[in-house]
Structure 1
Amino acid sequence: MPQTTRLFKKPLKRTDITRRLAIPSKILEFFPNFNEGHTVKLNIRYEGRVWPMVCSTRKQGYKKPVFSDGWIPFVRRNCLDVGDVVTLYKEEGEAGFWNRIEVDRATRAPSVDGNLGVSVRNKA
């Protein structure tokens, strides 16, 4: 049975679903070495599929890590939206380690005019 470590949990903001996912600097220690560079390629598992993504940092000053390449296709293909909560895990087992993401979707309650409006947490 794999050993699981939760790396971070984050409600998605507009920038997270349109440009890149900002992640906490403290989790960089859990990713493979950046090999003296500013990017690392990761394969992240979600619902039976592996999603290649790039984690990158700034070259100077505060690192400000983000998931860039691969993140937006993941968002679009899985219909993520503002208010959804993503949780990233590192799992280790006999076959090595891998990263896994979970999504807790916010449900959108219909507004008076029938459009989707206020977000309500789905506790499923």
Structure 2
Amino acid sequence: MATLFSKFVDEIDITRSLWLPASPMGLIHFEENQLMDMHVQDDGGQLWMFRCSIQKNGDAGCALSVDWLEFVRHKDVRIGDEVIFIQEIVKDQAMGARIKIQVKRKIRLFGQDIWGDVK
């Protein structure tokens, strides 16, 4: 397994769409404004489909806009949570790889910060 990308969620991510720099997602090759579907699996095994597009992001270049608001509501994703996309090699599938998504939330326990999985 290899981490493709991780990000701390901000307000735009949970109210509009998840914005990721296009370059770290090297396995995604498509043109600006072209739509594609990203199929991901959460820690519980549920499959999700996120509609994605490449958008201009001002001086920062291009960004991948990910429509994931149904996932956000279902998982109660919050500002400050960390979202992690992981590529997992699957030997018995024609695709050869699967993208998994994890969400982690910081909780304070006995004066220490602990990152726990959001289920």
TM-score (norm 1): 0.74
Contact 1:58 1:64 in 2 (8 A): yes
Deviations 1:6-60 (A, max 9, x none): 11111110111111101122133213x438862211111002100000121127x
Contact 1:105 1:121 in 2 (8 A): no
Deviations 1:63-93 (A, max 9, x none): 221102xx00000000010011011011122
**Among candidates 10, 16, 32, match of residue 13 of structure 1:** 10
| Offset of residue 123 of structure 1 | 3.0
Structure 2: unaligned runs, 5 residues or longer:
none
- Matched residue of 1:28: which SS? coil
- Matched residue of 2:115: which SS? coil
Alignment of 1:13-52 (within 5 A): 13-31=10-28, 33-34=29-30, 38-46=34-42, 47-52=44-49
Match of 1:115 in 2: none
Q: Which amino acid in the other structure matches residue 10 of structure 1?
A: K
Alignment of 1:1-124 (within 5 A): 4-31=1-28, 33-34=29-30, 38-46=34-42, 47-58=44-55, 62-68=61-67, 71-94=68-91, 95=93, 96-107=96-107, 121-124=113-116
Larger Rg: 1
Q: Provide the C-alpha distance between the structure 1 equivalents of 2:9 and 2:98, rounded to a whole number of angstroms.
A: 22
Q: Could you say what the CA RMSD is over the residues aligned between the two structures, in angstroms? A: 2.5
Structure 1: unaligned runs, 5 residues or longer:
110-119
Relative to structure 1, the CA distance from residue 36 to residue 8 in structure 2 (aligned partners, 3 Å threshold; closer, same or farther) is closer
Q: Provide the C-alpha distance between the structure 2 equivalents of 1:108 and 1:55, rounded to a whole number of angstroms.
A: 34
Relative to structure 1, the CA distance from residue 121 to residue 16 in structure 2 (aligned partners, 3 Å threshold; closer, same or farther) is farther
Identity of paired residues, percent?
A: 28
